[in-house]
Amino acid sequence: MSAAAHGNTPAAWTGSTIAFIGFTVSGVAMIIPAIWLFFVGLGVVVVGGIVGKAMAMAGMGKQPSPHFYTPEETAARQAVTAGV
């Protein structure tokens, strides 16, 4: 699985780290009776997903594999990259 570099990108690390912090905050909020802090933690988890997706869309995520494209799509992508 490491050969596929699954999740080994800045977008994945950043999104996962932010979500982990949110889960930690929500977990602490369950120990101390603070319902507002629990929902703040859930909000941080959602922000982590949004940040990770935004970073992936900005080019910091894993690029799609060319094996998933049809031959026509591959030719079109190569033509665009070559400037034809």
Predicted pLDDT of residue 26: 96
Instruction: Answer yes or no: is pLDDT of 2 > 80.
Output: no
- For tokens 């603070």, the residue is 34
What the block records as the tokens of 40 is 């703040």
Q: Which of 5, 47, 12, 42 is nearest to 24 (CA)?
A: 42
Question: Sorting pLDDT into bands at 50, 70 and 90, what band is 18?
Answer: very high
Enter the pTM of the model: 0.68
Q: Tokens 């889960």 appear where? A: 23
Hunting for tokens 């070559």 — which residue is that?
Answer: 82
Q: What is the pLDDT of residues 26-78, one digit of tens each?
A: 999 999 989 999 999 999 999 999 999 999 888 887 766 656 667 777 777 77
pLDDT(1) > 50: no
